[in-house]
């Protein structure tokens, strides 16, 4: 309940935050919504001696368009993403996932950058950024890097983002028409985290699936792209049969029979809805 | 009690909005943690990280060296200063009591047991210092599951309880039951696990104590459902504080569900250290501490057998239950799996032969005690599951099998085969009403149609019986209770006619400020605002046994009612004197004392109250003032009842259970405030559904609690529940003059069985006859897989 003692700093700019990260090194942690970090600190599982608050840095929050794609600032809350008409129209998968994270309190405080940096193995956003082939923009002393989502998550609660770096925004590419996506999860009745969550994004052109992004969260150390499912979709007719057959490839090795079943069922449900959206007139 | 109050007055039976809600909704309530004491210090407990370990030594040097740390105290310090072990308040024959000290002495027996306390200037500092206390443990093997703890060679929790047996208890007639089974046409058997639950009141337990060296008085603020019980047990049995110098205040309390009945180590240590240090000391549990140290509930493994004759009549019930008591016997723990469980095994049914054996078992887990329903949900779950299993075996409709076996309307008071005699009841109309509200025929037809499409819809009934207001004191005393179970009420009428009522009941969510004021205002013809309800302070309330077991309205309310009658009688004498009439000719209505037949010859309530205090002109044979105290000791329990029906749909692909409808018809006797009764029912149903579908405390084989936070212990949430459809029948209780039965636990008692029966009903086309609680998707899916493998 009472965290170990720490010093609180409010960063005024990204450069200010990076400067402090450098100054305080391993003893520092960035904080935005605090919904992952503070519980760990209260349990003293995490004991940073410097907290650098990036919540009030101007320009880090909000949703905007970029070349047909969507850019979400790192400190944008889950409820802002879920409520954004632009996101709902362009990437219903993203809005859907954001609207189902935790509960209203979590959604009103928690941020996309915080969720991605924390990399909880049962969090929703990692599967979404994998399925959407998003780029995570990371800023450090050596400059700005647009990190592919496939390279972002390295293990349980660990990412390729270095301790001296921070996430500033996430780029979600969207091109042309015929796109459709959906997120399906079985929420843990206690935590709201995904017992299983599947994010699916399809692009359908001339009755054929031309690209597919499917990723799963909830099992194992980190969210995973379901490459076998994607391969079973690409170039196939955009039909429910295709989707059902592809979903059978969602069972990854090393999981329990129940998890294997959940992966297939939830992949199918997400893909069916993604297909409906991608082929809707 | 001959007469039954007719709730004809507008106040009685009215859904008056809760008078206390303003302060709660605007953050103006005063919980224990809100009360600041001048010069206060903060306690943090050093707790055992092991389920079973010998304590070889405690090194507090580093902690004591931290500036602002006042003391680090251990079990040896506590014992050395004459503090006694914590007592058990309900004794059974040959019970083996494992000695428990407020701070562990020699051995720690569950994860979270307090081993030392650190007192410091701030809570954060106390926590830092607690982390610096080094305890040298010799880790021992742990007994975790009760069934395993009974096996030869299991780790022994207490040296004086061989085989980990705390007690063996039985009720009913073994020979008669055996012979009923011998002659049975059909016998069904099932092992039923009633899993361990954690109450999780929204306000964590807290205590704060201040000792006045000037007058030797110790004041303790504590989250208690029964402050006088705390005072008596802590003062007389544990700490040796004289009652007249020990004040216990239980201010606003945010929920208890039973978990705040008991005297816990922390408040004893806080009170003791405040006196020892001559500084106020306070402590508030973290949620993690709530999970590991609040008394848990349930945790039974039962082998049940039910015997039927050729007509589908239940002719026998045989039960063997192993009850996990945890590492120590909590204050009232021994009565929960015995007198609050075995005695309820007749349910709503006329069962001619019942026998039940219970073994209470020590394990290296958190102590188990009363949790909403306390024994009665376990009994209801067992009886109602067995009736459903029986219906399936007999090929009978579960509603009709229940109807066939109900105790008939004309046979009350009904003597069960397990000691209790039901006060009043009329079970069939409640069953009929629930079936009608559901439209049972239509629901069964819809179920059959859905099955053809491969959908798994289930309908589950639970015809429950509750026992409230456990009494009378003489009887419970003979059964082992170390306390009486009456209630007291003082009605103090002020000279202006305003009324203060000091009740021994304690409100921690029940809404007594409203319901008791409704009762008093109705009886005295006053505005509800003219009545103040005082509770939760041994310095202001004469005495009290507190609130648990759905007893407040039936027992505490009746004590108030009795005092109100005495007040009116005295008022009549004064009014008669003023009117020069005979007291026998006086009547009281609408706030006026008047001569029967001549309503104009009257004295208003206020005039009589003032006259009583002026004492210028009152009868010579009566004392001035208008105040009286009553103690009400009921002649029996009250027995609310009802039928609940759940409708679920199971996703055959994932095992996910959706609760689609919940119909509840309850008979709680007369009702003071329907809205508050509905609220009690709704909350109880949510908790019962929680046990059926989500909740469950689990330990690993080392005795580590795996469900020690809100992240992994699933409480019911509104978003996962349908809108409940509730209704009532009214069968007044003859046990008290208000005709009230009680409503606090009914929902939690009934709901678990209703939902479990519905889920098994949904799965029955697959040949599934039982799935253990909680009915998580994984468990249900597993049952479906096993059934498909079998077929």
B663-717 per-position pLDDT tens digit: 999 999 999 999 999 999 999 999 999 999 999 999 999 999 999 999 999 999 9
What ipTM does the predicted assembly reach?
Answer: 0.95
Out of A2, A190, A257, the one facing B710 most closely (by C-beta) is A190
Report pLDDT for B434: 98
Give every CB contact of residue A95 below 8 A, 6+ residues apart in sequence.
A81, A82, A84, A87, A88
Select from A192, A222, A168 the least CA-distant residue to A32: A168
What residues of B are in contact with residue A265 (Cβ under 8 Å)? Answer: 653-654
In chain A, positions 249-268, which contact chain B (CB-CB < 8 Å)?
Answer: 257-258, 261-262, 265
Q: Does A104 touch chain B (CB under 8 A)?
A: no
Min Cα distance B33 → chain A (Å) is: 14
| Beta strand spans in B109-203 (E) | 114-120, 134-139, 165-172, 186-198
pTM of the model: 0.96
Q: Does A190 touch chain B (CB under 8 A)?
A: yes
Report pLDDT for A225: 97
Give every CB contact of residue B448 below 8 A, 6+ residues apart in sequence.
none
What residues of A are in contact with residue B777 (Cβ under 8 Å)? Answer: 186, 195
Asked if A261's CB is within 8 angstroms of B777's CB, the reply is no
| Cβ pairs bridging A and B (under 8 Å) | 47
Q: Is the pLDDT of residue B738 over 60?
A: yes
Local mean pLDDT, 10-residue blocks, chain A (281 residues): 92 97 95 94 94 96 92 98 96 97 95 97 98 97 92 95 96 92 97 97 97 96 97 98 98 94 98 97 70
Give every CB contact of residue A268 below 8 A, 6+ residues apart in sequence.
A243, A244, A247, A250
How do residues B527-549 score in pLDDT, each as one tens digit? 999 999 999 999 999 999 999 99
Asked if A43's CB is within 8 angstroms of B712's CB, the reply is no
Half-sphere exposure (Cβ direction) of B676: Cα atoms closer than 13 Å: 28
Out of B286, B707, B714, the one facing A1 most closely (by C-beta) is B286
Asked if B778's CB is within 8 angstroms of A190's CB, the reply is no
Asked if A195's CB is within 8 angstroms of B720's CB, the reply is no
> Distance between CA B628 and CA B620 in Å, rounded?
19
CB-based contact A181:A93 (threshold 8 Å): yes
> Distance between CA B558 and CA B519 in Å, rounded?
10
Report pLDDT for B483: 87
Report pLDDT for B320: 98
Min Cα distance B286 → chain A (Å) is: 6
Out of A4, A193, A258, the one facing B782 most closely (by C-beta) is A258
What residues of A are in contact with residue B781 (Cβ under 8 Å)? Answer: 258, 261
Q: What confidence tier does B9 reach under pLDDT thresholds 50, 70, 90?
A: low
Out of A3, A193, A265, the one facing B653 most closely (by C-beta) is A265
What is the pairing mode between strands A166-172 and A50-53? unpaired
C-alpha Rg value of chain B to the nearest Å: 27
Min Cα distance B709 → chain A (Å) is: 9
> Distance between CA B81 and CA B78 in Å, rounded?
5
DSSP B406: B
Select from B292, B259, B205 the least CA-distant residue to B369: B259
Asked if A191's CB is within 8 angstroms of B710's CB, the reply is yes
How do residues B483-505 score in pLDDT, each as one tens digit? 889 999 999 999 999 999 999 99
Select from B540, B501, B496 the least CA-distant residue to B522: B501
Asked if A257's CB is within 8 angstroms of B654's CB, the reply is no
In which region does residue B497 sit, left (phi positive, over 0), alpha (psi from -120 to 50) or beta (all else)? left
Residue of A nearest to B781 (CA): A258
Out of B124, B128, B714, the one facing A189 most closely (by C-beta) is B714
Q: Which stretch of B7-11, B144-148, B532-536, B751-755 has the lowest confidence by average pLDDT?
A: B7-11
Residue of B nearest to A194 (CA): B711
Asked if A2's CB is within 8 angstroms of B124's CB, the reply is yes
Asked if B710's CB is within 8 angstroms of A44's CB, the reply is no
Asked if B288's CB is within 8 angstroms of A43's CB, the reply is yes
Out of B124, B694, B778, the one facing A258 most closely (by C-beta) is B778
> Distance between CA B281 and CA B71 in Å, rounded?
11
> Distance between CA B762 and CA B759 in Å, rounded?
5
Q: Omega into B770 within 30° of 0, i.e. cis? A: no
> Distance between CA B70 and CA B91 in Å, rounded?
39
Q: Which of B45, B287, B654 is the mutation pick for testing A, counting most A CBs within 10 A?
A: B654
Residue of B nearest to A196 (CA): B654
Asked if A191's CB is within 8 angstroms of B654's CB, the reply is no
How do residues B763-776 score in pLDDT, each as one tens digit? 999 999 999 999 99
* Long-range CB contact pairs, B714-720, < 8 A, 24+: B714/A188, B714/A189, B714/A190, B714/B690, B714/B774, B715/A190, B715/B200, B715/B690, B716/B686, B716/B687, B716/B689, B716/B690, B717/A189, B718/B686, B720/A189, B720/B659, B720/B693, B720/B694
Asked if A190's CB is within 8 angstroms of B713's CB, the reply is yes
Asked if A186's CB is within 8 angstroms of B777's CB, the reply is yes
Report pLDDT for A67: 85
Average pLDDT, chain B: 96
CB-based contact B150:B163 (threshold 8 Å): yes
Select from B344, B262, B269 the least CA-distant residue to B89: B262
How do residues B116-134 score in pLDDT, each as one tens digit? 999 999 999 999 999 999 9
Instruction: Say how far residue B252 (Cα) sits from the centre of its chain.
Output: 18
How do residues B304-360 score in pLDDT, each as one tens digit? 999 999 999 999 999 999 999 999 999 999 999 999 999 999 999 999 999 999 999
Q: Is the pLDDT of residue B4 over 90?
A: no
Instruction: Sort B474 into a burial class: Cβ within 10 Å, 0-12 / 13-18 / 19+.
Output: exposed
Q: What confidence tier does B66 reach under pLDDT thresholds 50, 70, 90?
A: very high
Average pLDDT over residues B598-606: 95
What residues of A are in contact with residue B694 (Cβ under 8 Å)? Answer: 189-190
Out of A2, A186, A262, the one facing B127 most closely (by C-beta) is A2
In which region does residue B31 sit, left (phi positive, over 0), alpha (psi from -120 to 50) or beta (all else)? beta
């Amino acid at each position: 309940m009472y965290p170990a003692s720490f010093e609180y700093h409010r960063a005024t700019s990204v450069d200010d935050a990076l400067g402090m990260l450098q100054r305080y090194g391993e003893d520092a942690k960035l904080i935005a919504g605090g919904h992952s970090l503070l519980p760990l600190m209260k349990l003293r599982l995490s004991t940073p001696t410097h907290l650098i608050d990036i919540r009030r840095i101007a320009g880090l929050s909000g949703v905007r368009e970029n070349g047909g794609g969507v850019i979400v600032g790192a400190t944008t809350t889950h409820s802002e993403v879920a409520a954004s008409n632009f996101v709902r129209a362009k990437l219903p998968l993203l809005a859907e996932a954001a609207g189902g994270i935790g509960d209203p309190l979590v959604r009103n405080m928690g941020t996309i950058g915080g969720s991605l940096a924390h990399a909880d193995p049962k969090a929703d956003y990692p599967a979404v950024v994998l399925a959407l082939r998003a780029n995570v923009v990371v800023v450090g002393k050596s400059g700005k890097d647009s990190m592919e989502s496939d390279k972002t998550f390295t293990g349980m609660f660990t990412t390729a983002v270095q301790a001296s770096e921070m996430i500033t925004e996430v780029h979600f590419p969207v091109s042309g028409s015929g796109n459709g996506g959906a997120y399906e999860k079985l929420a843990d009745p206690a935590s709201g985290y995904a017992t299983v969550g599947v994010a699916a994004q399809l692009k359908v052109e001339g009755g054929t699936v031309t690209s597919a992004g499917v990723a799963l969260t909830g099992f194992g150390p980190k969210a995973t792209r379901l490459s076998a499912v994607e391969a079973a979709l690409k170039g196939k007719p955009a039909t429910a049969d295709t989707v059902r057959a592809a979903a059978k490839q969602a069972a990854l090795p090393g999981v329990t029979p129940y998890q294997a079943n959940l992966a297939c069922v939830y992949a199918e449900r997400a893909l069916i809805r993604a297909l409906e959206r991608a082929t809707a007139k | 009690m001959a007469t039954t109050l007719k709730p004809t007055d507008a106040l009685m039976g009215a859904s008056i909005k809760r008078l206390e809600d303003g302060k709660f909704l605007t953050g103006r309530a005063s919980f224990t943690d809100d009360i600041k004491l001048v010069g206060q210090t903060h306690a943090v407990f050093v707790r055992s990280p092991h389920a079973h370990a010998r304590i070889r030594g405690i090194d507090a040097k580093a902690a004591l060296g931290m500036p602002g740390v006042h003391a680090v105290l251990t079990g040896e310090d506590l014992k050395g200063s004459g503090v006694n072990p914590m007592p058990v308040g309900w004794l059974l024959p040959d019970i083996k009591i494992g000695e428990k000290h407020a701070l562990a002495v020699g051995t720690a027996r569950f994860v979270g047991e307090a081993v030392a306390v650190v007192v410091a200037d701030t809570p954060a500092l106390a926590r830092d210092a607690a982390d610096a206390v080094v305890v040298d443990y010799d880790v021992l093997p742990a007994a975790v599951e009760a069934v395993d703890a009974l096996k030869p060679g299991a780790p022994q929790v207490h040296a004086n309880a061989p085989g980990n047996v705390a007690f063996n208890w039985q009720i009913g007639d073994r020979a008669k039951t055996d012979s009923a089974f011998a002659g049975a046409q059909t016998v069904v058997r099932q092992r039923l696990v009633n899993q361990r639950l954690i109450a999780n009141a929204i306000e964590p337990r807290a205590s704060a104590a201040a000792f006045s060296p000037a007058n030797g008085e110790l004041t303790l603020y504590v989250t208690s459902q029964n402050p006088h019980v705390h005072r008596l047990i802590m003062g007389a049995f544990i700490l040796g504080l004289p009652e007249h110098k020990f004040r216990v205040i239980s201010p606003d309390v945010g929920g208890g569900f039973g978990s705040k009945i008991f005297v816990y180590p922390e408040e004893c240590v806080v009170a003791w250290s405040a006196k020892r240090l001559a500084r106020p000391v306070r402590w508030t549990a973290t949620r993690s501490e709530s999970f590991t140290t609040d008394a848990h509930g349930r945790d039974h493994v039962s082998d049940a057998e039910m015997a039927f004759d050729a007509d589908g009549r239940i002719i026998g019930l045989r039960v063997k239950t192993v009850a996990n008591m945890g590492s120590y016997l909590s204050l009232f723990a021994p009565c929960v799996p015995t007198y609050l469980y075995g005695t309820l095994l007749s349910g709503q049914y006329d069962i001619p032969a019942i026998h039940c054996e219970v073994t209470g078992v020590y394990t290296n887990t958190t102590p188990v005690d009363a949790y909403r329903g306390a024994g009665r949900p376990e009994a209801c779950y067992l009886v109602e599951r067995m009736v459903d299993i029986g219906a399936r075996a007999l090929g009978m409709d579960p509603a009709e099998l229940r109807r066939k076996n109900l105790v008939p309307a004309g046979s009350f008071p009904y003597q069960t085969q397990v000691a209790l005699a039901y006060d009043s009841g009329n079970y069939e109309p409640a069953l009929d009403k629930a079936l009608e509200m559901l439209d049972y025929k239509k629901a069964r037809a819809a179920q059959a149609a859905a099955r053809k499409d491969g959908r798994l819809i289930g309908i589950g009934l639970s015809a429950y019986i509750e026992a409230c207001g456990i009494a009378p004191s003489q009887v419970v005393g003979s059964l082992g209770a170390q306390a009486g179970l009456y209630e007291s009420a003082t009605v103090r009428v002020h000279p202006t006619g305003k009324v203060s009522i000091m009740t021994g009941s304690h409100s921690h969510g029940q809404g007594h400020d409203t319901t008791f004021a409704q009762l008093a205002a109705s009886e005295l013809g006053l505005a509800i605002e003219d009545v103040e309800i005082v509770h939760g302070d041994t310095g202001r309330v004469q005495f009290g046994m507190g609130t648990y077991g759905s007893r407040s309205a039936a027992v505490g309310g009746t004590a108030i009612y009795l005092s109100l009658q005495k007040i009116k009688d005295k008022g009549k004498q004064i009014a008669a004197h003023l009117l020069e009439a005979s007291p026998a000719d006086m009547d009281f209505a609408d706030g006026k004392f008047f001569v029967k037949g001549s309503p104009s010859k009257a004295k208003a309530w206020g005039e009589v109250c003032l006259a009583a205090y002026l004492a210028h002109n009152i009868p010579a044979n009566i004392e001035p003032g208008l105040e009286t105290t009553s103690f009400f000791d009921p002649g029996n329990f009250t027995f609310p009842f009802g039928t609940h029906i759940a409708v679920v749909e199971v996703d055959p692909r994932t095992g996910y259970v959706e609760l689609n409808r919940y119909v509840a018809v309850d008979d709680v006797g007369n009702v003071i405030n329907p809205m508050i009764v509905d609220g009690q029912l709704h909350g109880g149903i949510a908790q019962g559904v929680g046990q059926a579908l989500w909740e469950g405390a689990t330990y690993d084989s080392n005795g580590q609690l795996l469900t020690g936070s809100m992240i992994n212990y699933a409480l019911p949430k509104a978003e996962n529940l349908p809108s409940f459809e509730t209704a009532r029948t009214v069968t007044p209780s003859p046990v008290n003059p208000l005709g009230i039965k009680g409503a606090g636990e009914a929902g939690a008692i009934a709901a678990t069985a209703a939902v479990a029966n519905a889920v098994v009903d949904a799965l029955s086309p697959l040949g599934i006859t039982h799935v253990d609680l909680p009915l998580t998707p994984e468990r249900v899916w597993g049952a479906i897989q096993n059934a498909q493998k079998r077929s």
